Amino acid sequence: MGNNHPKHRKIATQYLTIIVALVLVGQVPVLSLPLTQFGAYATQQMAGVVGMSVGVPQNESNKLAQDLAQKSEELTEREKAIDAREREIRLVVAEENAKYTKFILSVIIGITVLLTVLIILNFYLDKLRGEQLARSERSDVESVTTSEPHTKTGPHAHEGEFQTRI
């Protein structure tokens, strides 16, 4: 059995060589590539067929790099969650501000309407008072011209006269 073992290895190597040759022959459509690129392309294709993978053994540096990458992903997720919450809070604050702004605007409009009504009322009352004064002045002028002289009575009955007591 010991003598057959190297023989089996030789046969396995021959079969592997035939498989690799078939894979390379399957790459005939890419023969238009330059020779330098063809070698790289063929190697990639063989690695895909054979299922080759490259890995680095776990060590402290790799572990730290993986931990750092994981923490970075966690921080990115937290940041996204915080941004989402901040957007929600901004929307709520904006809605509250809109309500408060509407209330303030309605109060300002109400005060403006009230002041406008009071100003118009003031002008109207001033006009009525002016008309009453004009009527009373006209009636005073008419009474002075048409009536008898005033009789002097009361505390100021002697207007224009001075009395001195000694």
Nearest to 26 by CA among 35, 14, 34, 18: 18
Within the chain, what is the greatest distance between any pair of CA atoms? 170
In this predicted structure, what is the pLDDT of residue 134? 86
Spell out the per-residue pLDDT of the chain, length 166, in tens. Answer: 445 567 778 888 888 888 877 776 666 555 566 666 666 776 776 665 555 556 667 777 778 888 899 999 999 999 999 999 999 999 999 999 999 999 999 999 999 999 999 999 999 999 999 898 888 888 877 766 665 555 555 555 555 555 556 6
What angle, rounded to 10 degrees, do the helices at 35-50 and 4-25 form? 120
Q: How many residues does the chain have?
A: 166
Nearest to 51 by CA among 19, 86, 28: 19
SS (H, E, C) 3-45: CHHHHHHHHHHHHHHHHHHHHHHCCHHHHHCCHHHHHHHHHHH
Alpha-carbon span 17 to 4, nearest angstrom: 20
Alpha-carbon span 90 to 44, nearest angstrom: 52
Show Cβ contacts of residue 20 under 8 Å, excluding neighbours closer than 6 positions. 46
Contact assessment for residue 41 and residue 33, using Cβ atoms and an 8 Å cutoff: yes
In this predicted structure, what is the pLDDT of residue 33? 60
